[in-house]
Structure 1
């Protein structure tokens, strides 16, 4: 891919600035500008606390943040290339399209158009007060961040041909919250027809990550309004953005988190209900999760990983389910406890939700599902942090740089030849999927569509030795499904 000339357009506004009276309203059309607009700098990132260690190339933060970026091969504008539209992760509370790990150059050099999108976050993107619903012609409140993404998809539909893209060959993709968003777009009646395939990396709005009910969204919003001592929506709109942002803090443990909800417009019901009915977008899906999405300390806390502590922990968390959980996450010695605790923490955090998405779309979607298991451990950091826990596998978000081919844009790690080899495979799969709807390229290890075989589910393990494996974890996910369905309040508790 060396030597491919690209054109890059940064900071393109796709909607009007959501400020003033447009704060907490669906995105509005952007005003036309006179002359030629510069597209050399990333637009401002959306309002957010510094929750995670993220690298930004945007120079500022602002409510005026609805921008997207386009990377395209320098060819005739009339050429119709496949398109990838990618949504960043960050728990719907942080993130930015300028992050180097999402850079679109490497995939664009493979013969496609890549687009990254800013969308409103946190209280600005997902607050859902009854007063907002009353002023809406659709009676809907919340999900403004998802509506921003929808507006960006409509912009792509209407404009991407000018950048050499084919509006009928759009793939939506994302990681973590971005992947949750992809699962929601597949369920949303508004987004139907705006994309032809979907890519999800570690996340889905199902199970423990399910969307909020209207009542839960309203309760969270009213608690925030009460904290801010705002008598009305107008009073909230009059507050400076940084005051509202500070009201959700402190950054170490935000008092208020906001999440997508059933708003009656973007989402008319839970994703589980939509997928069970087979009413989701019936498009090919490439989806998976990592081997170490969460550390063992997430469930064991500060207790040593001993069999005694493991049994006590499971009893405390799962109560009457503890014996069944222990049978599927065994702990006969310290090493096994550490492995099982990592697997359980990963499942509770995000892997179980992702597996639900796989099962639901595979059973009712009428389109192939390509299911991956990413296990490649990233290398040592160039400047290791004191006291950092060892990584027992591929940690959450580690696969992004490999899948998008952006290893070379980060100097935080000492990249090895095997890292570039894994990236060549994973980004090759992604590129071929965006182009054709299947990851299978003759130059890559064969990846069959997921199906039940040999007592499990076919899954592609992506590592130095990439190969097809049989996933035998269905009993684990069946048990967790029963547990969460018997304890529905945990859906709410995990988002607070």
Structure 2
């Protein structure tokens, strides 16, 4: 007899009786309910497990609600839907459209070693500018890390306007008077589910590492800063994170419009007069319409979920006191060239523009990003450092100040197909080395050779990441010790090999910290993509900067 609950169409279809499960399908009886996964050699794999109620109908733009325990055995042999996201306008190295998407998408996937017991848990939060992506992308397959003793959990969370839009009408119906941050609340709900259920899969709920790249790394920083995520993780991994300014809920600040004002504008642009009209719209139509008017999702400073700008929270020591592994890639912007402006006509014009904008900091800016080299190369490096290099070093500095170990890395590896396209160490190119998934990169990703160098680097990075998830210290047998940042600003460079060093890119952090500090003091300037020749004129020296 089949037993079904009203958990949404996808959820109901996944519930089967115990007798319907094949004998070689591992079954786990978790507090949330029983699930049947698939055996894969020495691993057990569970896909598409729901961690919250489907946020559809009246639950759209609500905090995720806990799912009641189900009866019977849920088939966890296939991934769930990807969360609704805009269709790509063209193709890039990242193009990997989801096979199917919908609002009933709050699911997670678990890859665990067989006979795991109190194993460390690594939770992966996918990137995609909070607009795109999904946790079951093959490049995030957890098998290689699981074979190193780590349980890997990848999650979906709401994206675009469904995940991050604030609106006065939504705030009015909320008991706390807030709106936005729904995707972040999904991530917190997933962490709660993991805390309550992962022991049944062989994991240790007290040894969870939150990790992510790009917007996933931004999400990790939000989680570190959010009081609602307190106690749900023990370590953090931030790959190519960007600690940029965020909109505040009800008032403009730091050059950003108020989040509610942004939501009202989007509603007007898509033809919705109120929240009821927004909820009545087809989800895919709404997300696509928002993309056409350039909606860009970010977390909102609402006083409850996110209590302040990330830089302020971290400066005050209000973030989670956990060990951190953070880093960036030497070629971050080579695949994100939309972030830089066309270079000026010549070196003389470039220097004049930098001097006009950076004032007393111009000499140092021009030392690091000179007018005498190829101007585009200077722009690529300046934007990389302002977004990703500064953030990575700031994070390890901040955690060191809290008395926690911080491990910094620079990924600077390429191979012929990558370098021939001018993409050396591009944004996200470290991911398949961490996961050991170079054979499962997206269609337009430069294909790596199956060479000893590639295999050794993959094994090294997987080992370092797995040991950090296990013990809070990145170690790879037979490879150099990764120096903690607090010891003479130590870091690890990943070129063709792992090479420890000290003081990555001297002067880089100090320049961009001073730039951000002055913009913060001014109160009307954001700190995000506006670097170099597109920077606003910096305020003069400010107290504390």
Give the TM-score, by structure 2 length.
0.81
Instruction: Say how many residue pairs are matched.
Output: 473
Residue 458 of structure 1 and its aligned partner are, at CA, apart by 1.5
User: For the residues of structure 2 that align with 1:452 and 1:389, how far apart are their CA atoms?
Assistant: 37
Q: Which of 387, 397, 414 is equivalent to 2:448?
A: 414
Residue 231 of structure 1 aligns to a residue whose secondary structure is: coil
Is 1:486 matched up with 2:518? yes
Q: Is structure 2 residue 156 aligned with structure 1 residue 118? A: yes
- Write the mapping of 1:144-293 to structure 2, written as runs, cut at 5 A: 144-204=182-242, 206=243, 209-214=244-249, 215=251, 216-250=258-292, 255-293=294-332
Which entry has the higher C-alpha Rg, 1 or 2?
A: 2
Structure 1 pair 379–399 and aligned structure 2 pair: CA distance change class (3 A): farther
Unaligned runs of 5+ in 2: 1-39, 252-257, 531-545
Q: Bigger CA drift: 96-105 or 299-308?
A: 299-308
In 2, Cα distance between equivalents of 1:379 and 1:9: 36
Give the secondary-structure state (helix, strand or coil) at the position aligned to 2:467.
helix
Structure 1 residues 285-294 or 466-475, which shifts more? 466-475
Report the RMSD for the aligned CA atoms in angstroms.
2.5
Preserved contact between residue 55 and residue 100 of structure 1 (Cα < 8 Å) = no
SS of the residue aligned with 1:294?
A: helix
CA distance in 2: counterparts of 1:403 and 1:317, whole angstroms: 39
Preserved contact between residue 333 and residue 339 of structure 2 (Cα < 8 Å): no
Secondary structure class of the residue paired with 1:249: helix
Tell me if the contact between 1:157 and 1:194 (Cα under 8 Å) persists in the aligned partners: yes
| 1:340-351 pair list within 5 angstroms | 340-351=378-389
Identify if the C-alpha distance between structure 1 residues 342 and 471 changes in structure 2 by more than 3 Å, giving closer, same or farther: farther
Hey, what does 2:404 align to over in structure 1? 367
| Contact map agreement 2:301 2:307 (CA 8 A) in 1 | yes
Secondary structure of the 1:262 match is coil
User: TM-score scaled to structure 1, two decimals?
Assistant: 0.88
Using a 3 Å threshold, how does the CA distance of structure 1 residues 39 and 362 change in structure 2: closer, same or farther? same
* Residue aligning to 2:428: 397
Which range is displaced more, 436-445 or 90-99? 436-445
The aligned residue for residue 461 of structure 2 is 426
Question: Equivalent of 2:115, from 70, 75, 94?
Answer: 75
> Does the 8 Å CA contact 2:120/2:470 hold for their aligned counterparts?
yes
Specify every segment of 5 or more residues in structure 1 that has no aligned partner in the other structure, as ranges: none
Deviation string for 1:384-443 (max 9, x for gaps)? Answer: 9xxx9512x311000011112212323750323212211111111001101111002443
Q: Could you say what secondary structure the match of 1:247 adopts? A: helix
Of 150-159 and 347-356, deviating more is 347-356
Choose which of 87, 93, 96 in structure 1 pairs with 2:125.
87
Whole-angstrom distance in 2 between the partners of 1:81 and 1:475: 40
Alpha-carbon deviations, 1:214-265, whole Å to 9, x = none? 2321221111122123221111111111221122123xxx521121011222
Partners in 2 of 1:140 and 1:309 — Cα distance? 46
Distance in 1 of aligned mates of 2:261 and 2:507: 35
1:156-200, CA deviations, whole angstroms, 9 ceiling, x for partnerless residues?
000001111110111110001111111111111111111111111
Deviates more, 1:263-272 or 1:107-116: 263-272
> 1:248/1:440 Cα in 2 relative to 1: closer, same or farther (>3 Å)?
same
